[in-house]
Chains A and B, each alone.
Chain A
Amino acid sequence: MKTAQFVEGPAGSGKTTHAIEHIRSLIVDQGVRPDEILLLVPQRVLGRPYQIAFSSPDWPGGADITPVTIGGLARRSLELFWPLIAEKAGFAHPTWEPGFLTIETAQYFMAQFVNEAVETGVFDSISVTPFRIMNQTLDNLSKAAMNQFTLDEVASRLVAAWGDRHSSRPPVYRASLDLAARFRDHCLENSLLDFSLQIDLFMKDLLQEPVFERYVKRAYRHLVADNLEENFPVVADFIRWAWDMLDSALLVYDTDAGYRSFLGADPAGMHDLADLCDEVLAFQPLQSANSAILALAGEFSSRLDSATPVPAPSPANPLEAVHFSTHTFYPQMIDWTVDRISELVAGGVSPREIVVLAPFLGDSLRFSLAQGLEQRDIPVVSHRPSRAVRDEPAARTVLTLMSLAYPEWGYAPPSADIADALGQVIDGLDPARAWLLATIVYKQQSGELSSFDAIEARAQQRITYRAGERYEELRQWLVDSRDLAASNPPDVFISYLFGEVLSQPGFGYHADLDAGRVVAELVESARKFRQTLYPHGIEDWSSVSKEYVTLVRKGLLAALYVASWHAEDQDAVFVSPAYTFLMRNRQVDYQFWLDIGSSHWWERLEQPLTHPYVLSRNFPAGQIWTDDLEYAARREALRRLVVGLARRCREGIFAVAAQLGEQGYEQQGPLLLLLEQLGRQVDADGAG
């Protein structure tokens, strides 16, 4: 290693800018080939600033570098070196192509084991849905991989941390780890690789291979790793492994962040990498930063962490950076927020400079905000829309029509769904007439549609002949398509349905880009599903299509959301959970903190089967996780959160509270009390 630099500082101090300049200098001044630079980030979205820089006109031509995550790197490497490790790693059929599982497909396999286990009553002593049991078990696998723990170690850590509080819990932990082991065996048997197995194979097997080592040495000469504080312990292991093969390294670390600690990130372990570097640079907040906001961040820090010194008296009044507003009811809070945003926008603030943050963003809140802003013609985007793909009218329509095309499934949708689908897809058919049509032509018992021509003339007239014609066209297509059902996988079938009928002139989705996007997402999910489960194809696809549609209906698949097309690049107000915004890592002029009375601002996800802090290398194995530790962890998480948010704000924060929360409960969470106390005391000090 010739040079190694560790750069740390708070958000907005210019670290990423520094890293981009470093890359530019490698390319321009040192003549490094762009593909020799490994740019490692914890999440793809954190690579956005780099991609934006790389695509700007003044960037040295043709120098596209793709930021990668450790998962992406592992997967890419495993694809390349599969034959080398498949047998050694214990796969039953090393010659089979590896099947990389998405979250959805991993859940699909895990669900089967979980359902069996739940039936035996082994999870009876906890009150957790099978879906959560499945997720938490997958989480245990991921945590094991990220920390390179064995499953036994995970179990013994969880059991030890529980202490002797109640004898019913340890067996439940063990049951979850048993499921994990069975799932792992299943993967090895069928050449399936979930995230945890990818990481395990990469770290335990691939890194031991001299061939792979030579490959890395040849491929990468320079490392740039940003947002190290959000990355997993195995990333530090990988960096240490590669260290001596590199010519240079730039490690970038955001102090006071580590927002993904509860997902397994290891800020402390990452910081130790500084010891490897010959130069450590500490960046300070930019001089141009708003002094009132800096004072506010300082107040937050010292009030939530007794170790942080009380900030030196500053001429800036932190209260100037924050505007409080309290309302009795939840919708009043939403209305007020919409009003303030429209005032800001009317005053010339660009919508993209405004974010609306809540600790927990339910669909109803998201929908209400979006509706309010759209009514005032203010563009708004969210990290995800307020409906899952399966709840999108277009997706529901497609699934309903699919059930009609496959009568042998024996699933006849309720009339309401048929009315809904007909209203959606037949251009010019209003909901009342769609109901009428559905009531006449559809019999749920048979699950079949009858012909428009066969119905009474008076009813035809009521429905209109024009709509009848379209309906006939659709019905005929569905009838004809029965011949296609067996020979086409579900994704292909959906594409046909959409392409040949629904998107044609005279049908509801003609020139409807949003519906197109939703259907594309559905097609993608169906494609991944059948590729993973039936990589070698199958003679009759109709059972696969049925399985897919059933799982979607049960909410097991396509719970995903239509990608919000580079939401952060649009000139729109951004609505998201607070942590999601932090992970976007960008500064804005104004932040609205909604529902500051909610205790969600400082509570983590509570998962009875796993534990983010106990399953971390920093936590001593065998120690009990006490309430004191829990409380300290929450306090620290709240501190990082509010300090991080303040540092990503330029002009001001609107802190908005509803005395009665979404459910009508009165709320007095710590963030509300913190702000109230700050208000009282700073006021009093100022007055005194």
Chain B
Amino acid sequence: MTMADSVRFRSEQEAILGYTGGLIGVAAVPGSGKTFTLAHLAARLVQQLVGDRAFDVSQPSEVLVVTFTNAAVNSFQARISHILREHYSAMSPYVGYRVRTLHGLAHDIVRDRPSLVGLADDFAILDERLALDAQRVSVLERLAVWGDRLSMYADPDVEPRTIRYRLEQELPDLVSGVIKRAKDLQIDPEELQRMLEDVEGDQRFDLLRFSAEVYADYQRSLAYRGAVDFDDLVRLALEALQRDERYLQRLRDRWPYILEDEAQDSSLLQEQMLRLLSDRRNWVRVGDPNQAINTTFTTADPSHLLAFLDDQANPDVVEYPLSVSGRSAPPIIDLANELIRWTIEEHPSPGAREAFTYEHKPKQGRVRGVIKPAEADDPQPNPLAEECTIHIHFVPGQKITPDDELEMVVAGEDFSLVAWMSEIEHLPEHERPTVAVLVPENSRGFQLAKLLRRHGVPYEELLRSTSETRETAGILTAVLDYLSSPLDLRKLKQLYWTIMAPELKERVAEDIDLRKWLTDFFAQFRHVEELLWPSSGFEWGQNRPEDEATVVGDLEGFRELVSRWLEATSLPVDQLVLIVGQDLFAEPSDLALSYKIAVLLGSMAESHPDWRLPEFAGELRVIANNQRRFIGFDDAEVGYEPKPGVVTIATMHSAKGLEWDRVYLMSVSNYGFPSALPYDSYIGERWYAAGNPYRGIEHLNLEAEAMAQLEALVSNGEYYEGDATLEARVEYVKERLRLLYVGITRARREVIVTWNMGRHWQQGRENQPAVPVVALKSFLGVHEG
């Protein structure tokens, strides 16, 4: 079978698939199939490389694909292997390419030659929480000395005690941001210290000075553990490439083609690394600068991609458009295009007008920031305009509380989820449309979920990452938790319910008598040992209901397991977890995950010989609650597929790359989507921070100011207090406009936008509908009129 037989490409896509080499850049619009096109291109290049008989196994050539998130890595990988299997059937579908995030790539590079950058082969990667913990320890120690000096950053009207408390709470995150940025700029603590000597005595730099001391402590503690953090990984990878020319050459030979997806999120270091690796030979960069939603306090910046596309600076780069999208119905496309037009031409804050990029020069291959619907004969045509509804819930003067908004979305009269459910009830399951509610932040999503539960509306949440990790880790946590305090009868009972097989759980839930019997059963024991190691004469299942043999069997099994585990607590923790995992799980992925957890806890045990089960259970709880980035399997889920007839609850960020028939955008007020207008407020400007009245700033954005201090030193520029706070406002406004754009373009047929006054409306701090939404509402009015 050839590809032409099975897949039809649009002409824009065909043009990209004709790529044979050189530098190309693609500014794509939402729904134009950029990942799809890139995956096909990757597969074609793989075939070309591996088909060659001279393919050298110890130095195989690979197509390198770099993308932004782990989830994207997995889904990209699945796509390529699928294409290779289906369309180039002769090949092994896992050879000849490598899909990585920037961190994954950096890990590969460092892992291959650790001693080049001063690491042993068993170097550890400190995850984000442990890194933050280490920094927090140093922050608190240093605050004891620094406390007074730092109070100059505090609002003089606030109690010193309160200030101290806020600093203790929030400085670790602030410093962590500065350390990350210093690493992005490849500045080590010593160098930072040297730079600070140049501004000695200048108190304005104290925040940075403080951060620099913590940075030095932190790096020392990493070195002592033989560890690096995620940011070091990237920095060191780049260092390895810069240090060893021959190694760089070997990697260049290894990756003759580099494809970069989501290039609008490319950071400074990513760009430097790929520039080095590609040697500006074969590098394909695909992204949508208008969907850059990860720029706040990172060096991710769509300007990298735009600069690459600049034909003056880079005449050797060829730009290809991907401007046709079959995703949304034409009115939704118009709405998204209008958001860009309005922003560029009419946004009340001139700085924000650069949020989007727009260009329409089809003859030069440059069509950016305008979505075009597909032609009628397109393989994937747009939904019809007649099927489309757009509702922006904005009535001037209307006041909507947060609860009102939730109620309206879930059970209101016109366009609510309950109404929607009743409309689609009669349809066979697979024909039901898909729907998502996109919220600006997790907490709003949890409130929504609660209400949906109350109304019996089925939903799935994408608010935290994979539930599978959480479940497996959660079950193991429950076990370790009990094992670390084995006399606790209550925990033992809880454990019984936690690890009960789902079928039995269902039965027990339905059968009141059975539930009662079980409750009575447990109630007869006063002590753990009576249940686990009964003295002779005890009968299992006395007075049991006759047909409950399974439950008794289950209880006996439970007793056997728990006694076995308790006996195994004298083994090293990794071996204990392996035993528990083997006993509890049957699914290969669960087993693999518990295996990984075992290895992880084993290595923690090595670095903390004084840890016992309570500490290990604590660590595991952090993983289970997903407060910890757990590299490896947690991202093993290959993309999310919305289920027909089931509501997806997601943040606008996590909705990227997905689509639904109907999309709700909630809480679109000036709080989450400010417009740099006088009455707007900003999350980064803390209430306890000092202000700069001369510049009209009530509270400084301390994190932005600290970063600006750093950047001023690095670039030998000037630092003016307050500039950074103002700039951060504009950057935030721009990013949130793009986020709104992402939200709108998730919808195929229907968009519903709502807002609320915020939590503090009773205290006279009322949020307003977001300005761009008001503009879109009036566009609709004119349009409809």
A residues sitting closer than 8 Å to B (CB atoms) are 118, 121, 123-130, 132, 165-166, 168-169, 172, 303-304, 328-332, 362-364, 367-368, 371, 386-387, 391, 393, 396-397, 414, 416-417, 420, 423-424, 430-433, 435-436, 439, 462, 553-555, 599, 602-603, 605-608, 626-628, 630-631, 634-635, 638, 659-660, 662-666, 668, 670, 673-674, 676-677, 680-681
Contact = CB atoms under 8 A, between A and B. Distances in A.
B561 interface: no
A608 B120 CA distance: 6
B57 A555 contact: no
A331 B588 contact: yes
Interface stretch (B179-187, B279-287, B322-330, B591-599): B591-599
B223 interface: yes
B565 to A, nearest CB: 9
Interface string B571-601: 1101100110010000011011101101100
Nearest to B572: A391
24 contacts: A121-B220, A128-B118, A130-B224, A166-B239, A329-B588, A329-B595, A332-B592, A367-B578, A368-B578, A387-B571, A396-B570, A423-B567, A432-B528, A554-B609, A555-B606, A607-B121, A631-B59, A634-B58, A635-B58, A664-B632, A664-B636, A668-B95, A670-B60, A674-B58
Contact of B567 (A386, A431, A662): A431
A663 B121 contact: no
B633 interface: yes
A364 B246 contact: no
A484 B180 CA distance: 57
B187 to A, nearest CB: 14
B527 A462 contact: yes
B529 A128 contact: no
**Contact-residue size bin, chain B (C-beta under 8 Å from the other chain):** 35 or more
A420 B223 contact: no
B418 interface: no
B533 interface: yes
Contacts of B92: 676, 680
Given A435-B486, A673-B57, A430 B529 contact: yes
Given A430-B529, A430-B533, A602-B58, A127 B123 contact: yes
A128 B119 contact: yes
A168 B232 CA distance: 17
B225 interface: yes
The 9 lowest CB-CB distance pairs between A and B, nearest first, are: A664-B632, A126-B118, A329-B592, A627-B246, A129-B226, A606-B121, A431-B566, A393-B570, A673-B57
A404 B631 CA distance: 41
A498 to B, nearest CB: 17
A118 B246 CA distance: 32
A628 B246 contact: yes
Contact of B487 (A121, A127, A332, A435): A435
B221 to A, nearest CB: 10
Given A127-B226, A371-B578, 18 more contacts: A128-B118, A165-B116, A330-B592, A331-B595, A431-B486, A432-B532, A433-B529, A436-B487, A436-B529, A554-B609, A603-B112, A606-B113, A608-B115, A626-B246, A627-B247, A627-B249, A663-B632, A674-B58
Contact of B95 (A118, A371, A431, A676): A676
B58 A304 contact: yes
Nearest to A136: B120
A416 B599 contact: no
Contact of A126 (B53, B119, B244): B119
B135 to A, nearest CB: 16
Contacts of A332: 588, 591-592
Contacts of A330: 592, 595-596
B228 interface: yes
B599 A362 contact: yes
B588 A328 contact: yes
B223 A416 contact: no
Contacts of A435: 486-487
B57 A387 contact: no
Contacts of A368: 578, 595
A665 B630 CA distance: 12
B57 A674 contact: yes
A417 B569 CA distance: 10
A387 B487 CA distance: 28
Contacts of A662: 595-596, 599
A635 B570 CA distance: 43
Contacts of B632: 660, 663-665
B499 interface: no
A603 B487 contact: no
Given A367-B578, A664-B632, A670-B58, A424 B570 contact: yes
A398 to B, nearest CB: 13
B606 A606 contact: no
B243 A417 contact: no
A543 to B, nearest CB: 21
B118 A127 contact: yes
A154 to B, nearest CB: 16
A553 B598 CA distance: 21
Given A462-B527, A660-B633, A627 B250 contact: yes
B226 A132 contact: yes
A165 B223 contact: no
A307 to B, nearest CB: 14
Interface in B226-243: 226-228, 232, 239, 243
B222 interface: yes
A416 B484 contact: yes
A662 B596 CA distance: 6
B613 interface: yes
Contacts of B589: 329
B642 interface: no
B612 interface: yes
B612 to A, nearest CB: 5
Given A433-B529, A680-B92, A606 B114 contact: yes
Contacts of B55: 677
Instruction: Determine which residue in A123, A393, A606, A668 has the highest number of CB atoms from chain B within 10 A of its CB, and name it.
Output: A606
Contact of A439 (B247, B249, B487, B579): B487
B33 to A, nearest CB: 25
A128 B223 contact: yes
Contacts of B639: none
Contacts of A417: 612
A420 B570 contact: yes
B98 interface: yes
Given A127-B223, A631-B59, A674-B57, A364 B116 contact: no
Nearest to B118: A126
Nearest to A393: B570
A138 to B, nearest CB: 14
Given A168-B118, A627-B113, A364 B569 contact: no
A432 B609 contact: no
B119 A127 contact: yes
A608 B532 contact: no
Given A127-B119, A166-B243, A664-B596, A423 B570 contact: yes
A664 B226 contact: no
Given A364-B595, A664-B632, A432 B533 contact: yes
Given A128-B120, A432-B566, A668 B98 contact: yes
A430 B529 CA distance: 8
A110 B580 CA distance: 40
Contacts of A424: 570
Interface in B41-71: 53, 55, 57-60
Given A329-B591, A420-B569, A608-B115, A432 B596 contact: no
Nearest to B487: A435
Contacts of B614: 416
Contacts of A121: 220
Interface string B122-136: 110000000000000
B285 to A, nearest CB: 24
A414 B612 contact: yes
Contact of B120 (A328, A602, A607): A607
Contacts of B224: 118, 129-130
